[in-house]
Amino acid sequence: MIKIKKIILLLLAFSSAFILASCAAKGLEKEINVVFEVDGEYISCGKVTQFDSIFTPELDEAYIPLGYKFLGWTPYELNEVKPTDPNLKDKYVPAGKMVHYSEVCDKALNSTVVLKALMFDKADIPVEYHYVVIAWYDKETTSGITAAKMDELLTALTNHLRSTGVSEDDIKSIVIRGYDGNVGASTGKIVDDDDVDIMFGWGSAENVTTTGVLKPEMLKETEANYTIMYNGAAKSRTIHRLTDKPTAILVMEWLKSDECRALFN
């Protein structure tokens, strides 16, 4: 199996190199060839223009060392990018996001730019402070939740927190983040992000730990049978608290309140 994998990777590398040479040969004005590289291996190739963009590929877990986190793709040399860089988010494009011409044109050489897989040891990545991070299941037909409804939740939550004396700086640090895809993919992204305090709108504890990739010990508290009305029908969803942060516990209590439930009925 290992030999087969190496052969496949070698063929992929040669294929990408051939595509790269073919792209470069076109010589079209204001066209940039984009190559995605992991440890010297080309795993994908495409092109961007002033009018066309491409999506960055996901990175197979086999490439990610144990204890490391894959952030995305960077046009910088890896030794030029540090996890403590205050402008780190400006130096890479996350997987599954679009690469635009304006983001890579300054880094192109001979109409080609190489985007390298950016990974750091999780222990070296500074933890950004957030009063609370709430993940919501951005699969409307399953969860019954929409971005507009979560905007309403954020407004109600911040009004509640202000009434209890929470500072404006803390309120501004609150993150409400949607996760799409099936249960396995969405919970996998939550594990990768490693900063979510509360999950809102997924299924039962069994669902997120069997179909999903969460470990049972990650669930600190679960509130089941949470009714969400969607197109005139009631959906029974679940809230899971993943951390014991005091602020997460307080927000979890509010999410279970009649005030919050009324937003979804």
pLDDT digits (tens, 9 = 90+) for 6-52: 444 444 444 444 444 444 444 444 899 999 999 999 999 999 998 99
Domain identity same for 95 and 147: no
Across residues 219-244, what is the average pLDDT? 96
Contact 132, 177 (CB under 8 A): no
Domain identity same for 29 and 58: yes
Contact 31, 52 (CB under 8 A): no
Quote the number of domains for the chain.
Answer: 2
For residues 7 and 54, what is the distance between their CA atoms, to the nearest angstrom? 27
Domain identity same for 27 and 107: yes
Contact 44, 86 (CB under 8 A): no
Domain identity same for 149 and 93: no
In the listed set 68, 96, 124, which residue is the last one of a domain according to the structure? 124
pLDDT given for residue 30 in this prediction = 81
In the listed set 76, 105, 124, which residue is the last one of a domain according to the structure? 124
Domain identity same for 90 and 189: no
Burial class (CB in 10 A: 0-12, 13-18, 19+), 47: buried
pLDDT given for residue 180 in this prediction = 93
pLDDT digits (tens, 9 = 90+) for 85-98: 988 988 999 888 88
Contact 109, 28 (CB under 8 A): no
Domain identity same for 137 and 119: no
pLDDT given for residue 96 in this prediction = 82
Domain identity same for 148 and 115: no
Domain identity same for 87 and 33: yes
Domain identity same for 79 and 143: no
**76 is in which domain, residue-wise?**
2-124
CATH number at residue 162: 3.40.190.10
pTM above 0.85, yes or no: no
pLDDT digits (tens, 9 = 90+) for 134-185: 999 999 999 999 999 999 999 999 999 999 999 999 999 999 999 999 999 9
Domain identity same for 116 and 148: no
In the listed set 90, 124, 158, which residue is the last one of a domain according to the structure? 124
For residues 3 and 253, what is the distance between their CA atoms, to the nearest angstrom? 54
